[in-house]
Structure 1
Amino acid sequence: MPSRYDINHFSNHLWRDMNIRVYGTKGWPLLVFPTQDAMCDNYENFGMIDELSEFIDNGQFQLFCVDTVDQESWSDNYGDKFLRAERQENYYRYITEEVVPLIHEHNHSDWRPLTTGCSMGATHAAIVFLRRPDLFEGVIGFSGCYDAHYFFGAWMNNTLYDNSPATFMPNLAPDHPYIRLFNQRCIVFCVGQGAWEDEGIRTQRILDESFRAKGIAAWCDFWGFDVNHDWPWWKKMYQYFLPHVLNHCRVHGLEA
């Protein structure tokens, strides 16, 4: 198990204590979002930290694993939709305005973090990266659902729109300044075509089509029909894609 420690702090955006579990002591920072409703120990509990230990122990990546408030936003099926959307927006602001500065402080570098996650974690990773490519170096998302309608039904307001990549990316203006930034970043999305991947396939295709239409260089990969929405496959995806991401990091300043 790689070295680890916890950052415990009070969030002014979420009005509660939050936790960040840090693995490793140096390397390009990875902002890790857990699966739905899970917390900062999610990757460790499912063996992902052990799977990635070589990258961590070699000082190639330092992982910053955050808590979620999914039970008050995406998962609160019977809650008030306006309040649920507002809670997600507060979480987005918590990440961009509170977590990112903490990552820079503890990583001791000016490298922009990469965002990553599996399932709902990939959803969060996509939201924060696609809204703020100026803050993040890239995104690695596996088996995410990128359409807020899947969680909220037909309801939509401006706040939820901003947290629905499959909704806002097709509407991105062709001359938007973020397109230039996206093409300087590392964008990786992958989904299997096996069990429980239907929404991941559908919504990743929307992103893929949007990237292509706007000339954004992104790697959107669709794996085989035996590839299910589950941890054993996400571990294989990380082993496959992280060397590609590491090459991007080396070009942008990491000596590993």
Structure 2
Amino acid sequence: METQYYKQYSPALGRDMECKIYGHAGRPVIFIPCQDGRFYDFENYHMTDVWAPWIDSGKIMVCAIDTLDAETWSDKANDPRWRICRHEQWIRHITDEIVPFLRNIANERNGWTGYPGVMVFGCSLGATHAANLFFRRPDLFDGLLALSGIYSAEYGFDSYMDDLVYENSPIHYLKNMAPDHPYIPLYNMKKAVICCGQGPWELPDSTRHLQSILTEKDIHAWVDFWGFDCSHDWYWWYRQVEYFVPYLLGER
């Protein structure tokens, strides 16, 4: 498996950021780690092994990035306005810096013709961020795999709400989306999978709430609930990746 490590200065964040790309060709995927996670979690938690059949065959190229949760969603002792502004800078880092960087590698260097073709994938809080990116920017992201996420910003900001918290809380902004909003046809041109187990440490009610909103708005996504044995853990996320990725790639 071809791997490339990068450490580059982010103007959006005012600091160096690290990432690692797995694969030599194919559809670009951005992996967002779990809460407070780092780019190397994709490899250290053996998610590379699960994605290997698609990476090694040149169907997928995964870019694993860093979170900024320790400064934002997790740091509840600090000012919530500062934290959500910092989170918004991280969002811009992804949309304005990571996506063009990855497109350059996938489209220009490796010959990927599915422009824009960027899928976003995450587990736990990584799924929260992935879904938020997909629903906020369907012009940039054309696929979503969100496993065991929570889709309200209340998880990180409790009862605090302002304009930026609202914009990072899918349950809130999708609920208020007009039925003729131009994003809805964009969502429905793409494939989105949102899955949650019902076992230990899972919080399926958030996914159920999101499902009800998607149904109400006629937004087509595959929302799936696994059994009461399915816990909030890597073992189950491996199985879900194996199950859902063929659908997202059009293999079945």
What amino acid is the match of 1:55? W
Query: Structure 1, residues 90-135: CA drift from partner, whole Å, max 9, x if none?
Result: 1111111111100111112323200100001101101111000011
**Alignment partners' CA distance in 1, 2:144 and 2:133:** 9
The equivalences for 1:2-151 within 5 A come to 2-108=1-107, 109=112, 110-151=115-156
Q: State the AA in 2 paired with 1:245.
A: L
The secondary structure found in structure 2 opposite 1:59 is coil
Asked whether the 8 Å contact 2:116–2:140 carries over to 1, the reply is: no
- Structure 1 equivalent of residue 199 of structure 2: 194
Distance 1:3 1:77 in 2: 39
Residue type at the aligned position of 1:45: N
Give 5+ residue unaligned stretches, structure 1.
Answer: 251-256
Q: Quick one: distance in 1 between partners of 2:157 and 2:130?
A: 19
**CA–CA distance in 2 between the matches of 1:56 and 1:111?**
18
Give the Cα–Cα distance (whole angstroms) in 1 for the partners of residues 71 and 189 of structure 2: 34
1:183-211 Cα distance to aligned partner (Å, 9 max, x none): 0011100000001112xx12111221111
CA distance in 1, matches of 2:171, 2:11: 29
1:37–1:71 CA contact under 8 A, matched in 2: yes
Structure 2: runs of 5 or more not aligned:
none
* 2:245 corresponds to 1:242: yes
Asked if 1:207 corresponds to 2:210, the answer is yes
Structure 1 residue 151 displacement after superposition = 1.7
Percent identity over the alignment is: 42
* Residue 172 of structure 1: aligned partner: 177
- Measure, in 1, the Cα distance between the counterparts of 2:47 and 2:156: 26
TM-superposed CA distance for 1:159, in Å, is 0.6
Asked if the contact 1:28/1:111 (under 8 Å) is kept, the reply is no
- Equivalences, count: 246
SS at match of 2:249: helix
TM (norm. structure 1) is: 0.94
Q: Separation in 1 of the partners of 2:68 and 2:158?
A: 20
